[in-house]
Amino acid sequence: MRLISWNCQGAFRKKLSTIIPLSPDILVVQECESPEKLIFDPTLPKPTDFHWHSDGSKKGLALFSYSGYKFQLLPEYKPEFKYIIPFQVIHEKDQKKSFSLFAIWAMNNKENYYGRYIGQVWYAIKYYESILKQPIILIGDFNSNKIWDTKDRIANHTVVVQILEEKKIHSVYHKYYKLNQGEETHPTFYLFRKKERPYHIDYCFTSADLFRRIKHFQIGVYEHWIAYSDHMPLIIDF
């Protein structure tokens, strides 16, 4: 299975042809426009399943399946957490390949100042604590890094990472490359698309059983992707 997450920075209809050649089985896209605006190029494969969620704005969070996986929104979903959305990912032919997935786009929160960005993730994982069980994946744009732990939040990046680690759910990037949080050498985001303003704010966390199945992990490179978005895609092969 190849899982890809990418904040496309809008206008996904113009960028679909750049990500599909990577052959995702499951594709998670932040800042994806509404389905009404998506125009699928007839020369490209069509998704076998699709879910798009928005809070009423023009951009939302989308999941695409290009294989035997189907998405089922979990009944525990709480709209208050907007773009931290729990799914059961079900493989049509092999139930052993099914797992839980949290699609994430941590955003500003005008209603709750302390619940912005990583604070929003903290609220969500505390609420969904009972379903944070193996096998599970949390993936997307967390808009966070340990370097900003001093910012005014209900909980910081380190606290969220610790909560997940206590449940044996770890950052794939950090385990794969054997790096500590805050010491990343592969940026996932470039502020204002400037190469001299790199940050690592997109993550994939998996439970231990799924991490053992990972064959390869990579992050898209600036020179190829910056023409399309300020974020680089995460590409994970299981």
Give the position of tokens 């493989």.
Answer: 91
Q: Report the pLDDT value the prediction gives residue 228, as an integer from 0 to 100.
A: 98
The Cα–Cα gap between 42 and 111 comes to 42
Task: Supply the mean pLDDT for the chain.
Answer: 93
Could you read off the pLDDT of 58-68 as tens digits, one per residue? 899 999 999 99
Q: Report the pLDDT value the prediction gives residue 43, as an integer from 0 to 100.
A: 86
In the chain, domain spans: 2-237
Identify whether 47 is preceded by a cis peptide bond (ω within 30 of 0): no
Is pLDDT above 80 for 5?
Answer: yes
Number of H helices, E strands in the chain: 6, 14
Token code pair at residue 89: 């990912």
Decide: residue 134, CB within 10 A, 0-12 exposed, 13-18 middle, 19+ buried: middle
The Cα–Cα gap between 92 and 107 comes to 33
Specify the DSSP class assigned to residue 172: H
Could you read off the pLDDT of 74-111 as tens digits, one per residue? 999 999 888 999 999 999 887 778 999 999 999 887 77
Tell which residue, 145, 175, 55, 178, has the closest CA to residue 109: 55
The Cα–Cα gap between 136 and 93 comes to 19
Q: Report the pLDDT value the prediction gives residue 230, as an integer from 0 to 100.
A: 98
Decide: residue 9, CB within 10 A, 0-12 exposed, 13-18 middle, 19+ buried: middle
Read off the pTM. 0.95
Specify the DSSP class assigned to residue 97: G
Amino acid (1-letter code) at residue 108: N
The Cα–Cα gap between 166 and 103 comes to 20
Q: Report the pLDDT value the prediction gives residue 203, as an integer from 0 to 100.
A: 98
Q: Phi/psi zone of residue 192: left (φ > 0), alpha (ψ -120 to 50 degrees), beta?
A: left
> 2-237 has which CATH code?
3.60.10.10
Contact between 186 and 220 (Cβ < 8 Å): no
Give the position of tokens 């939040």.
Answer: 153
